[in-house]
Structure 1
Amino acid sequence: MLLSQPFPTTSNPAAPEPSSLLAPAIRQPPLPTNTGWLNFILKEGSAPEYIHPYLVQCKDGALSISYPSRVVDANFIYQAFVPDLTIRSNSLDGGKHVVSSFDDLSVTVEFPGGMVVPLVRGCPYITLIFDEAASLQLSTIHAVIEVSTFESSTKHKVTFNNGQTWLIYSSDAVNISSNLVVNQDFKGVVRVALLTGNEATEEVLDSFSSAYPLQGHADISCPFEIKYKWKKGGWGELLMLSLPLHRELMSYPSPDNVQTAVTYRSMDGDMHAVIGDSWTLNEIPICVGWYSTKGLTDQCCRDIIASALKNDVAALTKITTDSSYFMGRQ
């Protein structure tokens, strides 16, 4: 039945006006309230967000990338953010990023200076797109040990004193000095990936550096089946990272497409690279049922349950918090 009028609205103290860090085109209801990138728009939007396998921070008009270490305690485990590599496209600190679009598996963030970053969950590279010539500035919290240049200056290998080695690919030649200074404007695509293995790992990352994901969609319309599909740019085949559960359920592509040479750790298990811009995961159906030895035929039992529910309702208190997180608990 069609409704003659929309649902009534109500004031919610835990849901303020949409963040100014959302682009106007998407600053309208329904708004996402529990996405994997909400830290990019809450408050100043500077809290890091985990986009497997990297922690990513958007702050002062710059993008900082961290391959996080784990801090383990008897009561908790979390990933420590360290700005291993920071990239910006404007000459001065400051300015704000804007979330311009999002979908099931990705969020696109735009930065001052024309730098557009499609952050796609499970991508071994961070991709930065410059549609117009702009400054490219690189920095790190670590000491730079070495910067090596390869292949007509479209690939650079940067080694830090913390033992990390990062690969920087560019669609056009770019000159990066030994202290990460770029003395030229750049137009095109830059991709950054942490080298977590040996020469075999580097060869795979080299081979698939030209195709990059822009968006991602999860199709759950078929029972017991999930299909992931990524929209890509560039050329060549796409390389994405899979979790153990993905590989256990994956029926397409074939196991031959799994590149175990490219492995990243994550909070959800080791991630291995998979070649292909679409995956199909098939679950084994499990019969779920309910069985009660006695049932609830006796009116006495029904009265007890009804009384307990009434007590629950009576225990409810007025919501006083303005925190969207703790409001859910209240």
Structure 2
Amino acid sequence: MSSSKMTWFIFILAFSFLQSQASRILVSKPAPATGFVFPQVQSTVLPDPSPFFSSNLLQTPLPTNSFFQNFVLNNGDTPEYFHPYSFRFSDSSLTLSYPTRIATSASILQNFTADLTISAEQTQTQQQHQVVSSFSDLGVTLDIPSSNLRFFLVKGSPYLTCNVSVPTALSISTTHAIASLSSDTKQTKHTISLNNNQTWLLYSSSKIGLTKTNPSLITSDSFSGVIRVALSPGSDFKKVLDQFSKSYPVSGEALFTEAFGLEYQWEKKGDGELLMLAHPLHLQLLSVKDRNVTVLDHFRYRSIDGDLVGVVGDSWVLKTQSIPITWHSINGIKEKASIPDIVAALNKDVQAITSTPVSTTASYFYGKTIAKAARLALIAEEVGANNVIPTITKFLKNAIEPWLSGTFEGNGFLYESKWGGLVTKNGAVDEGADFGFGMYNDHHYHIGYFLYAISVVAKLDQAWGLKFKDQAYSLAEDFMNINRQQNSNYPRLRNFDFYNLHSWAGGLTEFEDGRNQESSSEAVNGYYSAALMGLAYGDTNLTATGSLLAALEILAAQKWWHVHQGDGIYEDIFTSQNKITGIVWSNKRDSGLWFAPPNASEIRLGIQVLPISPITEVLYSNVSYVKELVQWTAPALTKEGVTDAWRGFDYSLEGMYNKQDAFQKIKNLSGFDDGDSLTNLLWWIYSRG
């Protein structure tokens, strides 16, 4: 065993030991009890949450990147996708769609069609739209007060579940024609066939009389109780749906039970076992032996993320392989003779970056600049160039402290209590400033860069780290908080979607295709940086939480951002033209970017790679895929207008299988991404196998 592998082996043993001593449920450090660390501000651009949340929830931090975000923005009538159905609220009703999937060479999307709309007689209640009465990691409960309807929307349920609180007449309409309506003798199971070849089953907790009133409308007699509606994609599905129709989830929690493990626990009502649906990454991680669950491989629904498969069980255990969270290269620099090259570049880069203050006031670019400097400090440490570390450390302290102390001129972090979280000074008055940070867009990206730099300084200067520990943790908790306490300053895991197993970046903006995330690699960097902060402060819980989230984000990127022909996730017409996505939406896959067209494949590659650090090797561990990706991108590198900054990411990946050629290309670069440097790329190339 090599010395580098031995070091990593010892790290794993130590990490496992520390984890065994930690609490069964991992909880990161709570916010300081003395009050808010950052100055408070009243944002002038954030929407008002009060029309869509019950009064008791308004006293707590609210989700800003959740799977139900469209339901609480503007008019609340834009759909959200819940696997396997899309839902839309409008006019005191809920419409569900089993969306059709449309694939082209440029995109894959799911088309919303009003398959069934459920409404009821309205009372005189002034509140006409839906109100969130509770939410959890895996579901949300919405009430329509004017209609006596309560909907339990839980991700991955093959049924829509609705509770009718008092006797009320219901209406079920469709944009299609109703071919037939039939009921069993007890009038608790009803079959609705539509002329688009869909068959829907409606189950009721007690007798309900349904009448086809016109070709597209069914009405009921007065009813109170629970109804469940499910699409039956095939005749053999009906028996399964019948069998599990009486047990329904009302919420679901995701528990951090052990290192690199996550457990789903649903709160359910009714009788019998619970039937839910798992997407392909769930199935990859699902530990059948750890829980009494049964996978129904034949019971499948289509989805934007690949086939959803039935799983029977009241809880699931998901386990992933551990990943290395290291300051330096995972396997060390292979060629010691290369160190003078790195040191020569290091001296020049340190001089260039530390000779003047950071020129930007934008939180994203500022964060990238200080993270770039922090990378230089760690590389200097790895190659033994300790003489430049004090210069870098001084620069980082001077650059970071004004943001942590609230004295930075031109911008800074502030706390707003309407939704519960950090905004920037500029973002509090301009929704477009800092790429929408004030609208809760991209928090794990921006703050991730700050955490990386803070962690490096705290590692190098423990006294400084302790001095600014409260501010550092407050930054981290903005997107890393996993507490459920109502007195927390931040919502639970602002960006991470526990069902999808990756993050969303879109913030408090309404989108027709739901949540979205462009840069999967910057999401990985955010959680990786939080894990490093745990190492810097000796916080095993934070390191474990950050490590797990980084591992899941990596697996999700490899599943849905990295495109593989023939794996059954995406259609051939899309995979034949794309090796990597531009933007992953909850209801769409797009080859374009927010800032570049689909044919800018070099930018598509770069935005899914940056920033380059030790964790990049884990994200791009499939070298055969890396080779395909680099070759797919190569023609774009010769186009007019392509900059060396983007070429650098392509050459870096090439270095994983063609080290010598990539080295020569990198040496000839005349420019680098604003978060990258020649030193960093040489370190990367020389630490390849």
Partner of 1:248: 284
Q: Are residue 96 (structure 1) and residue 144 (structure 2) matched?
A: no
SS of 1:27's equivalent in the other structure is: helix
Q: Distance in 1 between matches of 2:196 and 2:359?
A: 58
Percent of paired sites with the same residue: 36
TM-score (norm 2): 0.45
Deviations 1:290-328 (A, max 9, x none): 326646685433223446982444778955743699513
Q: 1:109 aligns with which of 142, 146, 161?
A: 142
Q: Are residue 239 (structure 1) and residue 239 (structure 2) matched?
A: no
Q: 2:296 aligns with which of 259, 270, 275?
A: 259
SS of 2:358's equivalent in the other structure is: helix
Q: Are residue 150 (structure 1) and residue 184 (structure 2) matched?
A: yes
Note if contact 1:197-1:261 (Cα within 8 Å) is conserved in structure 2.
Answer: no
Residues 226 and 307 (structure 1 numbering): CA distance in 2 closer, same or farther, change over 3 Å?
farther
Q: Distance in 2 between matches of 1:184 and 1:3?
A: 54
Q: 1:327 aligns with which of 436, 439, 449?
A: 436
Deviation of the 1:131 alpha carbon: 2.4
Deviation of the 1:2 alpha carbon: 5.0
State the structure with bigger RCO (CA 8 A, min sep 6), 1 or 2. 2
Note if contact 1:19-1:41 (Cα within 8 Å) is conserved in structure 2.
Answer: no
Q: Distance in 1 between matches of 2:174 and 2:315?
A: 34
Task: Please show how residues 260-279 of structure 1 align to structure 2 within 5 Å.
Answer: 260-279=297-316
Q: 1:302 aligns with which of 350, 355, 360?
A: 350
Amino acid across the alignment from 2:209: N
Note if contact 1:211-1:236 (Cα within 8 Å) is conserved in structure 2.
Answer: yes
Q: Distance in 2 between matches of 1:323 and 1:41?
A: 20
Compute the RMSD of aligned alpha carbons. Answer: 2.8
Note if contact 2:123-2:147 (Cα within 8 Å) is conserved in structure 1.
Answer: no
Residues 2 and 122 (structure 1 numbering): CA distance in 2 closer, same or farther, change over 3 Å?
closer
Note if contact 2:140-2:152 (Cα within 8 Å) is conserved in structure 1.
Answer: yes
Partner of 2:218: 181
Residues 217 and 323 (structure 1 numbering): CA distance in 2 closer, same or farther, change over 3 Å?
farther
Deviations 1:84-128 (A, max 9, x none): 000012248992111111010000010122111010000000000
Amino acid across the alignment from 2:76: G
Count, aligned residues: 329
Q: Distance in 2 between matches of 1:12 and 1:307?
A: 36
Q: 1:21 aligns with which of 18, 30, 52?
A: 52
SS of 1:177's equivalent in the other structure is: strand
Q: Distance in 2 between matches of 1:220 and 1:62?
A: 36
Deviations 1:149-176 (A, max 9, x none): 1241110111111111100000111111
Which of the pair is proportionally richer in strand?
Answer: 1
Note if contact 1:196-1:262 (Cα within 8 Å) is conserved in structure 2.
Answer: no
Residues 323 and 172 (structure 1 numbering): CA distance in 2 closer, same or farther, change over 3 Å?
farther
Residues 238 and 74 (structure 1 numbering): CA distance in 2 closer, same or farther, change over 3 Å?
same
Q: 1:58 aligns with which of 89, 95, 101?
A: 89
Which has the higher mean CA deviation after the structures are superposed, 275-284 or 71-80?
71-80
Q: Are residue 75 (structure 1) and residue 106 (structure 2) matched?
A: yes
Q: Are residue 6 (structure 1) and residue 36 (structure 2) matched?
A: yes
Amino acid across the alignment from 2:313: G
Which has the higher mean CA deviation after the structures are superposed, 115-124 or 256-265?
256-265
Partner of 2:244: 208
Note if contact 1:197-1:262 (Cα within 8 Å) is conserved in structure 2.
Answer: no
Residues 114 and 56 (structure 1 numbering): CA distance in 2 closer, same or farther, change over 3 Å?
same
Q: Distance in 1 between matches of 2:433 and 2:71?
A: 16
Q: Distance in 2 between matches of 1:234 and 1:308?
A: 66
Q: Distance in 2 between matches of 1:325 and 1:118?
A: 36
SS of 2:349's equivalent in the other structure is: helix
Deviations 1:167-201 (A, max 9, x none): 00001111112344334110111000000122x21
Residues 285 and 244 (structure 1 numbering): CA distance in 2 closer, same or farther, change over 3 Å?
same
Q: Are residue 160 (structure 1) and residue 194 (structure 2) matched?
A: yes
Residues 203 and 26 (structure 1 numbering): CA distance in 2 closer, same or farther, change over 3 Å?
same
Deviation of the 1:260 alpha carbon: 2.3
Which has the higher mean CA deviation after the structures are superposed, 116-125 or 307-316?
307-316
Q: Distance in 1 between matches of 2:268 and 2:294?
A: 18
Amino acid across the alignment from 2:249: P
Q: Distance in 2 between matches of 1:175 and 1:324?
A: 55
Residues 20 and 2 (structure 1 numbering): CA distance in 2 closer, same or farther, change over 3 Å?
closer
SS of 1:327's equivalent in the other structure is: helix
Q: Distance in 2 between matches of 1:313 and 1:91?
A: 52
Q: Distance in 2 between matches of 1:102 and 1:14?
A: 25
Which has the higher mean CA deviation after the structures are superposed, 271-280 or 281-290?
281-290
Structure 1 alignment gaps of length 5 or more: none
Amino acid across the alignment from 2:431: D
Q: Distance in 1 between matches of 2:433 and 2:267?
A: 32
Amino acid across the alignment from 1:322: E
Residues 288 and 260 (structure 1 numbering): CA distance in 2 closer, same or farther, change over 3 Å?
same
Note if contact 1:146-1:158 (Cα within 8 Å) is conserved in structure 2.
Answer: yes
Which of the pair is proportionally richer in helix?
Answer: 2
TM-score (norm 1): 0.90
Task: Please show how residues 29-48 of structure 1 align to structure 2 within 5 Å.
Answer: 29-48=60-79
Amino acid across the alignment from 2:114: P
Which has the higher mean CA deviation after the structures are superposed, 265-274 or 129-138?
129-138
Q: Distance in 1 between matches of 2:100 and 2:354?
A: 50
Deviations 1:219-255 (A, max 9, x none): 1242110100000011111100011111111113669
Amino acid across the alignment from 2:267: K
Amino acid across the alignment from 2:297: T
Q: Distance in 1 between matches of 2:357 and 2:177?
A: 61
Residues 312 and 210 (structure 1 numbering): CA distance in 2 closer, same or farther, change over 3 Å?
same
Amino acid across the alignment from 2:57: I
Q: Distance in 2 between matches of 1:61 and 1:285?
A: 47
Amino acid across the alignment from 1:259: L
Which has the higher mean CA deviation after the structures are superposed, 258-267 or 230-239?
258-267
SS of 2:203's equivalent in the other structure is: strand
Structure with greater Cα Rg: 2
SS of 2:238's equivalent in the other structure is: helix
Structure 2 alignment gaps of length 5 or more: 1-30, 367-409, 411-425, 443-689
Note if contact 2:54-2:131 (Cα within 8 Å) is conserved in structure 1.
Answer: yes
Amino acid across the alignment from 1:191: R
Residues 221 and 325 (structure 1 numbering): CA distance in 2 closer, same or farther, change over 3 Å?
farther
Q: Distance in 2 between matches of 1:325 and 1:163?
A: 48
SS of 1:218's equivalent in the other structure is: strand
Q: 1:133 aligns with which of 154, 163, 167?
A: 167
